[in-house]
Structure 1
Amino acid sequence: MSDWKKDNTTLKILRAAEKGKYGVLSTIAYNVDHVISMIKAAENKRSPLIIQMFPWAILHSNGDLVRCASMLAKRASVPVAIHLDHCQDPKLVELAAKELPFDSIMVDMSHYEKEENLARTKELVKLCNEHHKATEAEPGRIEGGEDGVCDTADLEGILTTPEEAKLFIETGIDILAPAIGNFHGDYPPSGPQLRFDLLENLQPLVKSEDIRVCLHGTNDFTPELVHRNIEYGMSKINVNKLVLDTHLEFFEESASKLPLTDLLDKSNEILVSRMEYWMDVFRSSNKA
């Protein structure tokens, strides 16, 4: 293992989670208030945390939101990593790797057919590694779409087999985000129908190759479903609606009823509380 990978914040957090058999919240932040609230919850619970941003955050703020988040993460009293989620533009991957303080980047070329996906992923992983950024990729294709992610609803979902996963591991990635029936955005009325047999089949491969495993598509998850994924080795668990739901509902309901400062304070308190709840569920509380 490269020396920089031993010290990379994202990878250190995930290795510790695997060893301790807990999951780490990897939360999407859209603004500075989200970053502050998420770190506050992590400090309150003494929990490690990964804060994620979509490429939109770079474009929206010319990278300043990322820089601010990185500064706050470094000042936190618990381990906090900053991750770029679902970066689907090669030029933006290059910008993020060279110029922005991300600890890790998801190189998401899943909207291309497999051969081009693999070729582009390998090239971009090499670039990210040159700048000491850990990398994540999605073997197969997770269906659906959410705010900030290229919608793949019109593309066929492809489930991840060990053979498919091995091809992506050979590109040099550190984190594998398998397609096991998970779904970006809200699930159909039947709810999540995950293929745990696929996860079980991946275990020998990821252990032998020292690869971390990440779960995408957690909308509508129950605590029991979270626990089952952790039991199958999922250490990085991406969440969006799962922690932002009550915060955003309050914001929508109260926007015209409260002074702005009260609105921000109360909605952020709700976000902190929701984060703390899921940190307890993920069993990451008191692990930092």
Structure 2
Amino acid sequence: MTWQETNRYKTILHAAEAGKYGVIAAIAYNIEQILGLVQAAETAKSPLIIQFFPWAITATDGLLVRTAAEAAKRASVPISIHLDHAQSEAIIKRAADTLPFDSIMVDMSHYEKEENLAKTRALVEYCNARQIATEAEPGRIEGGEDGVMDTAGLKACMTTAEEVDEFVGTGVDALAPAFGNVHGEYGPAGPQLDYERFEQIRQQARGRVHFALHGTNGFSPETLKYCVAAGVTKINVNRLVLDDYYDHLRANVGKMPHTQLIEEGIQKVADLTVRWMEICGSAGKA
């Protein structure tokens, strides 16, 4: 059996593709959030992807990542560990060589296209040699998040059908297309997604890669369901599953014992994540 057939990220997305549901890929910043996400997956009987920004590697010397991998190993449902928006070759190599990631997003979208493709190809090869799956961003999704370069000064470029072929050619396992989605916050009008463009991208891919949806802050359940129905299998979420946790901290810090604050915070993450797992259709699929 090849590593591709046993890689946790690939098997989770392959099953989602076959079952026509979306899998929550949630950013975690601390141990409470890791615990809450794992608890949600167990409760909903759903697969899960736990993601980290490169910040988690540098700030905690990888300890947060190892903690999540340990929790994933003990879980009764499939959970994979993903590095999101890795934008430097050094951090990608460090992650691939020393940390228990199942997959890494090789994000070279801050380079012009030719250089983006060349660097992506080389880094995909590097990761694959270490049995790690990869994801990339054709086009450029505007905006920035924690520890991720803000591309606002660079032109947001919607993904084209030609780019799909070019990026599939780099050997990536998943693509995060730009079709009106943005990192960070949407303006008062909310998300303006170009579903027609996404359909063209999907047709051009002809099943050769999985699709990841980036930029879901403020999405309604209807929007997310529509994206899953359109063929997205990996749903990147940040605030969508963490808002209740932060509201809880703001309302209760200093007003209850610290241990209670932590335990209730874990529960807030778990409850909200279960809700979105149900919306994405992954509940009961583990």
What band does the TM-score fall into relative to the shorter chain? over 0.9
Which string of whole-angstrom CA distances, capped at 9 and with x for unpartnered residues, describes residues 260-279 of structure 1? 11111111111111011111
Alpha-carbon distance between aligned partners in 2 of 1:69 and 1:271, rounded to the nearest angstrom: 15
TM-score by length of 2: 0.98
Partner of 2:123: 124
Partner of 2:259: 261
Partner of 2:230: 232
Partner of 1:187: 186
Q: How far did residue 255 of structure 1 move?
A: 1.1
Partner of 1:283: 281
Q: Is the 8 A contact 2:36 2:268 kept in 1?
A: no
Alpha-carbon distance between aligned partners in 1 of 2:52 and 2:11, rounded to the nearest angstrom: 19
Which secondary structure state, in structure 1, belongs to the residue aligned with residue 233 of structure 2? strand
Alpha-carbon distance between aligned partners in 1 of 2:163 and 2:196, rounded to the nearest angstrom: 15
Which string of whole-angstrom CA distances, capped at 9 and with x for unpartnered residues, describes residues 242-267 of structure 1? 00011111112211212111111111
CA-based RMSD = 1.0
Partner of 2:176: 177
* One-letter amino acid of the counterpart of residue 287, structure 1: K
TM-score by length of 1: 0.97
Q: How far did residue 229 of structure 1 move?
A: 0.6
Q: Is 1:168 equivalent to 2:167 in the alignment?
A: yes
Alpha-carbon distance between aligned partners in 1 of 2:206 and 2:147, rounded to the nearest angstrom: 32
* One-letter amino acid of the counterpart of residue 108, structure 1: D
Q: Is the 8 A contact 2:9 2:49 kept in 1?
A: yes
Partner of 2:270: 272
Which string of whole-angstrom CA distances, capped at 9 and with x for unpartnered residues, describes residues 19-51 of structure 1? 111100000001122111110110011000000
User: Which deviates the most, 144-153 or 129-138?
Assistant: 144-153
Specify every segment of 5 or more residues in structure 1 that has no aligned partner in the other structure, as ranges.
Answer: none
Alpha-carbon distance between aligned partners in 2 of 1:261 and 1:3, rounded to the nearest angstrom: 45
Residue correspondence of structure 1 range 244-259 to structure 2 within 5 A: 244-259=242-257
Alpha-carbon distance between aligned partners in 1 of 2:254 and 2:80, rounded to the nearest angstrom: 35
Residue correspondence of structure 1 range 42-81 to structure 2 within 5 A: 42-81=41-80
Alpha-carbon distance between aligned partners in 2 of 1:23 and 1:148, rounded to the nearest angstrom: 26
Alpha-carbon distance between aligned partners in 2 of 1:45 and 1:148, rounded to the nearest angstrom: 30
Q: How far did residue 198 of structure 1 move?
A: 1.1
Q: Is the 8 A contact 2:32 2:265 kept in 1?
A: no
* One-letter amino acid of the counterpart of residue 90, structure 1: E
Which string of whole-angstrom CA distances, capped at 9 and with x for unpartnered residues, describes residues 68-120 of structure 1? 11111011000000000000011000011111100000000111111111111
Which secondary structure state, in structure 2, belongs to the residue aligned with residue 144 of structure 1? coil
Alpha-carbon distance between aligned partners in 2 of 1:285 and 1:207, rounded to the nearest angstrom: 27
Alpha-carbon distance between aligned partners in 2 of 1:178 and 1:135, rounded to the nearest angstrom: 14
* One-letter amino acid of the counterpart of residue 230, structure 2: Y
Partner of 1:138: 137
Q: How far did residue 204 of structure 1 move?
A: 2.4
Q: Is 1:83 equivalent to 2:82 in the alignment?
A: yes
Q: How far did residue 155 of structure 1 move?
A: 1.2
- Aligned residues, how many? 286
Alpha-carbon distance between aligned partners in 1 of 2:23 and 2:83, rounded to the nearest angstrom: 16
Partner of 2:211: 213
Alpha-carbon distance between aligned partners in 2 of 1:23 and 1:193, rounded to the nearest angstrom: 20
Q: How far did residue 205 of structure 1 move?
A: 2.6
* One-letter amino acid of the counterpart of residue 185, structure 1: G
Partner of 1:25: 24
* One-letter amino acid of the counterpart of residue 257, structure 1: K
Alpha-carbon distance between aligned partners in 2 of 1:255 and 1:122, rounded to the nearest angstrom: 47
Alpha-carbon distance between aligned partners in 2 of 1:203 and 1:278, rounded to the nearest angstrom: 24
Query: How high is the sequence identity, in percent, across the aligned residues?
Result: 51
* One-letter amino acid of the counterpart of residue 149, structure 2: C
Alpha-carbon distance between aligned partners in 2 of 1:95 and 1:203, rounded to the nearest angstrom: 32
Alpha-carbon distance between aligned partners in 2 of 1:204 and 1:144, rounded to the nearest angstrom: 27
Alpha-carbon distance between aligned partners in 2 of 1:171 and 1:83, rounded to the nearest angstrom: 19
Q: How far did residue 148 of structure 1 move?
A: 2.4
Alpha-carbon distance between aligned partners in 2 of 1:48 and 1:231, rounded to the nearest angstrom: 18
Which string of whole-angstrom CA distances, capped at 9 and with x for unpartnered residues, describes residues 40-64 of structure 1? 1100110000000000000111111
Q: Is the 8 A contact 2:140 2:155 kept in 1?
A: yes
